[in-house]
Amino acid sequence: MTVRTKYRTLIFMNRTDIPELLLERLTRYAAIDTQSNMEKADSLVFPSTDTQIQFAREIAEELRSIGVPDVMVDENSYVIARIPASPGKEDTPSFGLCAHLDTASDAPGSGVKPRIHRNWSGESIVLQNGFILDPAVDKALGECIGHTIITSDGTTLLGADDKAGLSGIMTLAQYLIAHPEILHGPVEILFSPDEETGHGMDKVPLSLLRSKAFYTVDGGHAGEIEAECFNAWKAEVSFSGIAAHLGSAKGRMVNALAMAAAFVNALPARESPETTEGYEGYFCPLDIRGSTEKTDLLVFIRDFDREQMTRRLERLDIIARSIEASFPGGMVTIKKTCQYLNMKQKLDEHPLILERLCTAVVRAGLEPVQKPIRGGTDGSRLTEMGIPTPNIFTGGHNYHSRTEWASLEHMTQMFDTLVELTHIWGE
Ordered alpha helix ranges (H), 86-159:
139-142
**H or E stretch at 331:** strand 331-340
195 classed as catalytic: yes
Contact 96, 213 (CB under 8 A): yes
228 classed as catalytic: no
Q: Which of 33, 162, 188, 195 is catalytic?
A: 195
The C-alpha atoms of residue 31 and residue 112 are separated, in whole angstroms, by 5
The C-alpha atoms of residue 192 and residue 80 are separated, in whole angstroms, by 9
Contact 26, 406 (CB under 8 A): yes
- Closest of 338, 153, 323 to residue 238, by C-alpha: 323
- Closest of 391, 371, 422, 409 to residue 161, by C-alpha: 391
Contact 67, 177 (CB under 8 A): yes
Tell me the residue type at 20. E
Structure letter (DSSP) for residue 94 = P
Structure letter (DSSP) for residue 93 = P
Classify 320 as helix, strand or coil. Answer: helix
Q: Which of 33, 102, 161, 378 is catalytic?
A: 102
Residues labelled catalytic? 102, 195
